[in-house]
Amino acid sequence: MFTGETITLRCEIQGGEGKAWKYEWTAPNTNSPPTSSEYRISRVSVSHSGDYRCRGSSDYLLTGWSDAFTLTVSSSKPRATLTAHSSIIPAGGSVTLSCSVEGSAGWKFDWFRRDSVSSKAQLMRGNEANRVISVSQGGLYHCRGGRGDPVYYTEDSSDVTVTEIREFNYFILNPERSTLLVFLTTVLYMQL
């Protein structure tokens, strides 16, 4: 996990249904762990890294300690990475963009587009579980990841410039033959 995220650990006792359990936790750098089945840490820090264990007691029953859950908290905020399978959109086609966050899972993605470097980015899609989208419009694209409640966001990815190819029909009149010749010309449309 990363500094600032929120995590909830849950302790479950197999076969303990119908009993009123109290819970004990062992945790790093914690003087007063909870006595409930959930251990919630808001805005984790590097000091929360370590092993967490729990056990339950009810009347004269006492379970053994659970296996350790090892939490590792990184102090650096992750940055999303955006890649495009092609930087050119063919006429009438699309390109695939992929957003990822290295080394961790559970992210949903926000996608942004702008017309030029000087224009403001607009949210295209938000909270997308799929990390891959197709686009058919040129522009500058970037993405970010988010997860948890409240949502923790990664740093925005770097921009990827996608250029669109458009087709124009040019009509040329041949005065000698009095016929209309049609030429299809493909031109490169660059984002300014």
Domain extent at residue 110: 80-164
Work out how many domains the chain is built from and give that number.
2
This prediction's pTM: 0.76
Q: Given 3-state DSSP classes, what are the helix, strand and coil percentages for the chain, each rounded to the nearest 5?
A: 0, 50, 45
Does the pLDDT at position 161 exceed 70? Answer: yes
pLDDT of residue 174: 56
Do 33 and 53 reside in the same domain of the chain?
A: yes
Does the pLDDT at position 126 exceed 50? Answer: yes
| Kind of pairing between the strands at 50-58 and 22-26 | antiparallel
Q: Grade residue 9 by pLDDT with cuts at 50, 70 and 90.
A: very high
Domain presence at residue 183:
no
pLDDT of residue 29: 77
pLDDT of residue 175: 56
Task: Please measure the distance between the N-terminal and C-terminal CA atoms of the chain and give it in whole angstroms.
Answer: 39
Do 67 and 86 reside in the same domain of the chain?
A: no
Domain presence at residue 45:
yes
Do 84 and 158 reside in the same domain of the chain?
A: yes
In this structure, the chain runs to a length of: 192
Beta strands in 59-153 (DSSP E): 61-62, 69-71, 81-84, 88-89, 95-100, 108-114, 122-128, 132-135, 139-147, 152-153
pLDDT of residue 100: 95
Do 85 and 142 reside in the same domain of the chain?
A: yes
Residue 23 CA from chain centroid, whole number: 34
Do 39 and 103 reside in the same domain of the chain?
A: no
What does the H/E/C string look like for 8-42?
A: EEECCCCCCCCCCCEEEEECCCCCCCCCCCEEEEC
Residue 66: helix, strand or coil by DSSP? coil
pLDDT of residue 167: 66
Q: Each residue of 89-115: pLDDT tens digit?
A: 888 889 999 999 987 889 999 999 999
Does the pLDDT at position 184 exceed 80? Answer: no
Q: Each residue of 13-68: pLDDT tens digit?
A: 888 787 889 999 999 977 788 899 999 998 999 999 999 999 999 988 899 999 99
